[in-house]
Amino acid sequence: MKSLIIAEKPSVAADLARALGKVPKKGDHYENDQYVISSAVGHLVELLMPEDIDKKKYGFWRLETLPIIPSRFELKPIDKTKDRFASLKKLLARKDIDEVINACDAGREGELIFTYIYQLAKSKLPVRRAWMQTMTPAGIRAAFEETRLRTAGQMSGLADAARCRSEADWLIGINGTRALTKRMFGKRAGNVASVGRVQTPTLALVVARELEIRNFISRDYWRITAQFGIANGSYEGVYQRPNYKKNDADPHDRIDRLWDKAAAEAVLADCQGNPPAAVTEEKKAATQIAPRLYDLTTLQREANNRLGLSARRTLQIAQALYEKHKMITYPRTDSRALPEDYIPTCKTTLQALEGNLAPHAQKALAEGYVRPNKRIFNNAQISDHFAIIPTGSEYKNLDDMEAKVFDMIARRFVAAFYPVAEYDVTTRISTIAQKHNFKTEGKVLTNPGWLAVYGRTSIDEDSANNSNAAQTAKSASAALPALTPADSNSAKTLDTKLHAEATKPPPRYTEATLLSAMESAGKLVDDEDMADAMKERGLGTPATRADTIDGLIYQKYMERNGRELSPTPKAEGLLEFLSVVGAEALTKPDMTGEWEYKLRLMEHNNYTRDKFMHEIVDVTKGIVDRTKNFEEDETTARVTDIISPTDSQPMKETLRAYKSQDGALVIYKVITGRKIEEDEIRQLVAAGEIGPLDGFVSPRTGNRFPSKLRIIDDPKNEGQKKVELDFGNKVDLSALTPVWTDPKTGEELCEAPTNYILRRRNEKADGGWEQTFSVGRLMCQKPIELDQAIKLVTEGKTDLIQAFISKRGRPFDAYLLRKGARIAWEFPPRAPKVGKDGKPVARKTKAAPDLTKATKIGDSKAHEGGTLYETTDSYIVAKPGANDEPRIVFECKKSICQKDIALTDVQQMLADGKSPLIEGFVSKRGSQFNAYLVLSKDKKKADFEFPPR
């Protein structure tokens, strides 16, 4: 009889076949006298959707059919992989198979993949579990030793937790999304208010931070710095407020901040005239311990900070390093410790490390640094997985980013064994007029310890207080000149400056800081040990947090602006509605963290499945009940000071809009994806129009655009008024008032709603005028002044205009050029890139494709003035650029994820913003998937859009 081994993906099945005796391939599986080895391709089975349960009842979203709570959750094969499921079901039914070994990924999700396949196939075979921590041949063989294969009973807790996670997400997601979508959007097609057990509390963190920033009131304060001179040189000191006591109620208060300008100026006056300063100083030794080994969240956080990688991309790279290259241990872990019996393995791994890490690894071995240490080897801090470390496998051909992530992991592994870094801290107090103290601090690294692994020879303030010290660039602290006997403990005040500053709001979340917030369920904890203690109550798991963030962006709840994450008006509207209907339970990170904690208890058989699901059902019913029965009571609406033009009465603010009391005018708070602030509504009502305003979002392409807003009579409802967007496209040239006339040509420059328009007389044209040129009054969030528009007309080029904002939220400077009837950009020379030694470094320039050898297809409907070309490996859209050189504005590879892309699909995407559904893409994990290609927001590339499950 034989054992059937089911891996999670084909590449793993191939690795198992090689490691377990070079099992030969037979059809679509591997087989010898002992094993039959096959695999899934990720998830093959899913829960039935409501329309699968009862299409007539649940096919259309109706409030009266909610909540949907199945008495038993049934399963179905996923359509795109049903052939693979059928193949596994056939193998499970073979008469010569007497057991099945689950070799899916060692975690909750891997357990779910196997459990659902086994259940839907209705197999009765006994099950054992292979728990692989590394994908090296030795690691695989160790996992398949008889004594290490786990029984089904040992895995029952993990299987229950996996089912509960899946079913809880179904209950909360399906019921919450249907209820909230119907109440928020009614019958408006295309609008979905998606909610989830993890995604909504995560979104609440981002929205709460945005409101904190928006409502922040800045306060002015003053700082004083002084330059002192002694025999060995000069140094700077910062004024310290006397009798300062930390005020927990005011987090912005600091010892060096003065809140009263007069008091600051009085101190400054006392320091004028180069008075002498009495100098005292204190020296003390300090140490800094090496940072702990990586878990997935910490790796994602630091890769985002250091390399700018998204959490999802970091996970993909780590998975490739583990699965494809066999160079690191299992990455989807929340542990930062190793098993206590892992010391011999670590020594072997250190011995195998190559490159510039090898000398440091050899030193760790030679000096006996690898020894029992509870910060590194601690059975109490590992569960089914341990920290991410190298495996010692030979170095492979890694791409640039894979090499950088591997170096982070390997360098952290070596550094963890090294002794603490030691340094001397000198604190110097320079006192002017016997009462004004100025503090200066200098640090000198006396023993680099673990910092040597990172090539550090000095230490600065960040590295002394930041466990991620190694990620800061090499930098030396400002040298503090030493006092000598000749100074007689005195210094001369050379200069004193008063700095006017202001408090700043907290920064927006980046992926790095949001991962930290998710990890601690919203309670931001900087101390590593405290963070470990709270980890089991976090939002989601290390393996799912990246997908949660990407999902929120995909659903248009968040946007990436550079590295910052900011919520959209859709997100704020959802959170506001949840609050009003009393469904805040969905937004509470601590409650969701508590659920995650219970799932972890369940994995270890310390919490029952029935109890957990009963709690989830109760929460689901409560959310649906409150949402269904909510009625907006306009009698409690806030009365504003905005006077309506329809009845001369103050308008009222409701949940979604500002309304006149006679009901004739309704101004929604969100118009075409842009939130309209109350001050803007006040101006709109008073003047009848406002703008142009930037930040409106096209629902079709996702592109931002400027527009005016106007209040007009509603042609469909007599006596009613409405707000419309005015793009300035339909302009009666004869009705415009000129603001400038060209003395040479007589052409007149006029202000239209969104543009400056240049017109000239033409009796044959409608109204006797024709347009010869126009330029936007607002471009890339920067108002274009009239004098620059005139210069553009007369000279063909503006002055350098500063602080445009790109589509990625980055500021840039540029000239505007007039090229006939269109606008072009000219950018100033980029500042030279400076290396670590302070010297200029030549920038790498990417060679532009040679379009002379490309096939010209035709115009691109998505790019005005753009031409579509087909090269040997890409589809490219180019526009005329500087010096008549083609400027590439769009590029799409002809092969994406092992799928050849047809020209007709690209043409449809450029015409409609979306291709037909394309089948047969292959992911990096070997799973097949179907997707649409959609034009990205910036129209520079193609993105995936996935069909609804």
Within 13 A of 342's CA, how many CA atoms are on the CB side?
22
Q: Give exposure, 924-936, as e/b (b: 16+ Cβ within 10 Å).
A: ebbbbbebbbbbb
Beta strands at 127-129 and 97-103: parallel, antiparallel or unpaired: parallel
Structure tokens at 478: 């400002």
111-126 burial: b if 16+ Cβ within 10 Å, else e? bbbbbbbbebbebebe
Largest CA distance in the chain: 99
Strand order in the sheet with 928-935: 918-922, 928-935, 942-945
Local structure of residue 566 (DSSP, 8 states) = E
Residue 846, burial from CB neighbour count under 10 angstroms (0-12, 13-18, 19+)? exposed
* Tokens found for residue 410: 């390997």
Cis peptide before 67 (omega within 30 of 0): yes
- Indicate if 330 belongs to the active site: yes
Angle between helices 296-307 and 400-417 (to 10 degrees): 120
Burial of 152 (0-12, 13-18, 19+ CB in 10 A): middle
CA torsion through residues 154, 158, 160, 163, sign = negative
Tell me if 438 sits within 8 A of 226, measured CB to CB: yes
Give the SS3 label for residue 899: strand
Of 330, 369, 658, 932, which one is the catalytic site residue? Answer: 330
Q: 209 - beta bridge partners? A: none
Nearest Cα neighbor of 474 from 450, 456, 461 is 456
Overall residue count recorded for the chain in this entry: 949
The residues near 472 (Cβ < 8 Å, ≥ 6 apart) are 460, 462, 463, 466
Q: Which of 758, 709, 713 is nearest to 736 (CA)?
A: 758
Cα angle for residues 169, 173, 179 (degrees, 5° grid): 150
> What are the E-state strand segments in 654-751?
657-659, 666-668, 670-671, 674-675, 689-697, 704-713, 721-726, 738-741, 748-751
Q: Among the residues of 39-151, which ranges form H helices?
A: 50-53, 55-58, 82-92, 108-120, 137-143
The dihedral of CA 305, 307, 312, 314: what is its sign? negative
Strand order in the sheet with 755-761: 738-741, 748-751, 755-761, 769-776
Of 774, 734, 743, the residue nearest 758 (C-alpha): 774
Residues annotated catalytic, as ranges: 330
